Homo-oligomer: A and B are copies of this chain.
Amino acid sequence: MAAVKPGQKPKKDRGATRVQDPDGTRRNILEIASKEFALNGLSGARIDEIAAQTRFSKRMIYYYFGDKEGLYLHALENAYRQVREGEARLDIEGLPPVAALTRLVEFTFDHHHLHEEFIRMVMIENIHHGVYLEQSDVIRELNVTAIDHIARVYARGVEDGKFRPGLDPVELHWQVSALCFFNVSNRATFSKIFGRDIGAPDQLERLKRNTVDMVLRFASKAEVLGE
């Protein structure tokens, strides 16, 4: 973890040629590894292949990440961190509830599409029954906040009389996730079976509208829908 220990200075002063750069090395390895794991899975990814794409030797992978599973775990954490950091930038507090929920769903939809690598890592981790995610406190912490967003919007909506009471924010989040996750995760099989590319821009637009529609209709009071 700590490539630079407390006593030492991160040697970034002198403009001299920097050949040794632990942080850069780690980042470079992790970046390549993330790509390879997302593409081929844990058992499918090859350490030699990862090393070859790196600017460093295989030895450095073991030096910094211990073993293959350690590298995978870091790649998994990395994927979650990147995505959740992106999500944290979404600001919907100022919007009225219906608009806020709309925005939230649209954002989730787009975001998942932009981060296919993340989706694939989550799929892979589920294939492994989540045993690596389980080892990471980091990931759990990152995610719990995701619920807060939707919970607050929903609470405001109930107060407003726009949303029906009695729904569970976690379940709402769950439904939104399901709708947005699936069309990235299952794009290949679905497209091939039904002969239309789910990922094509026009399809995406339709799908997004439907998804927003579905969530809003689910959360809204019946009276409000007629408006």
Binding site for B on A (CB under 8 A): 40-44, 120, 122-130, 133-134, 139-140, 143-144, 147, 168, 170-171, 174-175, 177-179, 181-183, 185-194, 196, 198, 206-207, 210-211, 213-214, 217-218, 222-223, 225-226
Contacts and interface: CB of A to CB of B under 8 A. Distances in A.
A199 to B, nearest CB: 12
A144 B186 contact: no
B185 A126 contact: yes
Contacts of A223: 226
B189 A133 contact: yes
B222 A130 contact: no
A128 B207 CA distance: 24
Task: Give the number of copies in the complex.
Answer: 2
A143 B170 CA distance: 32
A203 to B, nearest CB: 9
Contacts of A214: 175, 214, 217-218
Contacts of A143: 193-194
- Which has the most chain B C-beta neighbours within 10 Å: A125, A179, A183, A186? A186
Contact of A126 (B189, B218, B225): B189
A20 to B, nearest CB: 35
A193 B139 contact: yes
A23 B103 CA distance: 56
Contact of A171 (B129, B170, B206): B206
Nearest to A223: B226
The 7 closest A-B pairs by CB, nearest first: A130-B188, A178-B182, A43-B44, A217-B217, A143-B193, A214-B218, A222-B225
